[in-house]
Chain A
Amino acid sequence: MATGIKDYAARSREIIREDPGVRESVTGATIAFDEKRRQGYAEVDADAWRRWAEGVKNHTLTHLDRYLAEAEEQLQANGAQVHWAADAAEAREIVTGLAVRHGVRSVVKGKSMVTEEIDLNPVLEAAGIEVFETDLGEYILQLLEEPPSHILGPALHKSLEQVQELFADRLDTARDGDPDTLARAAREVLRGAFIHADMGITGANFLVAETGTVALIENEGNIRLTTSLPRVHVAVVGIEKLLPRMTDLAGFLQLTARAATGQPIGCFVSLIQGPAADPGDDGPEEVHVVLVDNGRTDVLAHEHAWEALRCVRCGACLNACPVYRQTGGHAYGYVYSGPIGSVLDPGLLGLHEAMPLPFASSLCGACEDACPVRIPIPELLLEWRREAQEEGLTPWKERAALAGLASVATRPGLYRLAGKIGSRLGATGAARVLPMLGEWSKDRALPKPSPRTFRDLWREGIE
């Protein structure tokens, strides 16, 4: 899988330097989301909710084979068809095959990370099928041919002015159109798409084993339309999305919304059991659920990283993350960005492919405090760093420097001597011998060593 991950350091620098509007938009949006999340948590016993959710997910993930089988059986009993995709290529083949078999000419899509992950749209388009992203943010990005920058607000790196310009060029709206006018113009285009589409494609927030329910959360209503109007609905679902029971949804629907936007629940929740069955129901004639592995079983098998599979894709960790806020998601070079991306991507893609993401964190811990399922993100980052060190995936200079530090720090005499030399060299002299200080001084003035160490002061006596 070709990703842009390895260029993280260069790309983040480029975004910060060349496109400062991104930092401004992303910082503003994520701080607003994060504040709403805090309010949303404060209204309930968030600690208890989060512990409960962690427990349900841990239970599910440690019994996942059982629940997958149960979900499949239930879905089939409901009249839905279940497909299994080991990797992205197979998932694409399944979905494209369904579209071709049904003579689909036009597809409407609900916002879905997993369909980004499997890179679905290009193959549908290559098959001559028109694809409409219907989430407003995703629609903006589809027009711009950009990948999403955030799990929840895919276009949050775009300013109002940028959308005004885009819509003026493409939808013929006024150059100074207000958000309401712009949204109405998009609605008009997409309303036509909903009515004419032959197939609706979504992801899933949860898949309930007990009832074979695909649960989807949203605010715009586009997912309800996507799952209701076209004659075929395809839900592409990661195998970690399982929940045991219908009643488990109560906590998860509410907690996910609170973590994501502070809302008590999404404006629209779709609970899809299968194809339309009742006389008045105008829902789809066929419902297909594609269960996707694509690296998830590798994550599940990992001693530590399996905990990242608890993720409900709420985006709370991105919103809380001061690293993510500087660049948005594009710097990370893969669909899952920010803190969760940095612990999930090494598991999904292989650590080598995901370097240097485990190091794209100051380990400040804000993500873990925000996470609704209590994924210990800083600890998992450290685990990946340990593996990266063991596998020799880090620069040799860095390893040599740390080995040097350990040698000096375990020999007090040598340590004192080094300290003495350091303070004599002063700031610029130290920069010459310590390679890392060269990097440091790219963006900062050099630190000034104390003229005399504390050790000297202690020896002379502290009054």
Chain B
Amino acid sequence: MKVAFFVTCLADHYFADAAADAVRLLRHLGCEVSFPPDQTCCGQPAYNAGRTGEALRMAEHTLDVFGGQPDNPAGADAVVLPSGSCATMVKKFYPRLATSPGASAVRATALAERSWDLAEFIVRRLGVTRLGDGLAGRRIAVHQGCHALRELRLETEPATLLEGAGAEVVPWEAQEECCGFGGLFSVKMTAVSAAMADRKLETLPDVDWVVSGDGGCVLHLDGRSRARGDRVEFVHLATALWRGVNGDGGKTGAK
């Protein structure tokens, strides 16, 4: 299967290694991965702020890069994003943005239909739930981004994959609660945003890693936990899964 990789701006600049692990995973699963070089930001920051004009411009740029027609220039069967939130932007919000009838509405719908969050793609599109057993003995808490959880309804996929690789996914009281990132929200309402992170951190069970498929949430949670002086290790889902494949993510493996 041909996959066009949409790295997303946060992963490009803050989770470059995790994004590389996502590419390794996809290749491991038999995908031919391409990286359209003109890709930029999906436009979600502008969309969430209510800047529709800017969001639409960024969406149209992305539609140009990844195409919306089956004969798209990238020539890929699927577009995969290592970010639940950005995947939601493309899958759910592009069609809402491009509601005026015309070419971009058609392209938006077509792109939405073949775009996937990484975990969603592996479980729902490829039908894979076992990726190796390299996470044996590893205690993990999963943080799901709200868009992945409540827009894409990826309620079980990340945990399924982690458990499939041998990890113990530990129940977390605040598992389904928002971490308080919310893009612009985290800088506009910074005290509330931080208190929301505290609720997640205060209820965090004793685990080796907190794993999330959403970079934004991780930047925020990690930033808050370091400011509090907590010692929590955040690992991007792509990296955790690749270590599961690779066999070096277990408790006894090389850490």
Give the nearest-CB partner of B19 in chain A: A454
Say whether A363 contacts B192, CB under 8 Å: no
Say whether B191 contacts A458, CB under 8 Å: no
- How far, in whole Å, are A436 and B218 apart by their CA atoms in the complex? 18
Chain A residues whose CB sits within 8 angstroms of the CB of B177 once the complex forms: 322, 364, 366
- How far, in whole Å, are A8 and B189 apart by their CA atoms in the complex? 9
- How far, in whole Å, are A409 and B180 apart by their CA atoms in the complex? 25
Say whether A423 contacts B13, CB under 8 Å: yes
Say whether B20 contacts A457, CB under 8 Å: yes
Chain A residues whose CB sits within 8 angstroms of the CB of B227 once the complex forms: 443-445
- How far, in whole Å, are A331 and B189 apart by their CA atoms in the complex? 12
The B-contacting residues of A in range 385-408, CB under 8 angstroms, are 385-389, 394, 398-399, 402-403, 405-406, 408
Q: What count of chain B residues pass the 8 Å CB interface test?
A: 66
Per-residue A-contact encoding for B194-220, CB less than 8 Å = 1, 0 else? 111101000000000000000000011
Say whether B24 contacts A462, CB under 8 Å: yes
Chain B residues whose CB sits within 8 angstroms of the CB of A137 once the complex forms: none
**Nearest chain A CB to B54's CB is how many angstroms away?**
4
The A-contacting residues of B in range 39-72, CB under 8 angstroms, are 39-41, 43, 45-55, 57-58, 61
Interface: A166 (CB within 8 A): no
Say whether A9 contacts B189, CB under 8 Å: yes
Say whether B46 contacts A405, CB under 8 Å: yes
Per-residue B-contact encoding for A351-391, CB less than 8 Å = 1, 0 else? 00000101111111110110000000000001011111100
Interface: B169 (CB within 8 A): no
The A-contacting residues of B in range 162-193, CB under 8 angstroms, are 176-178, 180-182, 184-193
- How far, in whole Å, are A361 and B181 apart by their CA atoms in the complex? 10
Interface: B150 (CB within 8 A): yes
Per-residue B-contact encoding for A420-463, CB less than 8 Å = 1, 0 else? 00110000000000001101101111111110111111100011
Interface: A13 (CB within 8 A): yes
Say whether A453 contacts B58, CB under 8 Å: no
- How far, in whole Å, are A458 and B24 apart by their CA atoms in the complex? 11
Interface: B23 (CB within 8 A): yes
Interface: B222 (CB within 8 A): yes
Given A453-B16, A456-B16, answer yes or no on A12-B191 (Cβ-Cβ < 8 Å): yes
Chain B residues whose CB sits within 8 angstroms of the CB of A364 once the complex forms: 146, 150, 177-178, 182
Interface: A241 (CB within 8 A): no
Residues of A within 8 A of B (CB): 8-9, 12-13, 16-17, 23, 27, 322-323, 325-327, 331, 356, 358-366, 368-369, 382, 384-389, 394, 398-399, 402-403, 405-406, 408-410, 412, 415, 419, 422-423, 436-437, 439-440, 442-450, 452-458, 462-463
8 nearest A-B residue pairs (beta carbon): A385-B50, A362-B182, A444-B223, A406-B54, A364-B178, A13-B191, A450-B16, A443-B194
Residues of B within 8 A of A (CB): 7, 9, 11-17, 19-20, 23-24, 35, 37-41, 43, 45-55, 57-58, 61, 146-147, 150-151, 176-178, 180-182, 184-197, 199, 219-220, 222-224, 226-227
Q: A9-B191, A458-B35 are in contact. List 7 more A-B contacts (CB 8 A).
A: A326-B195, A358-B50, A363-B182, A388-B50, A389-B51, A443-B224, A463-B24
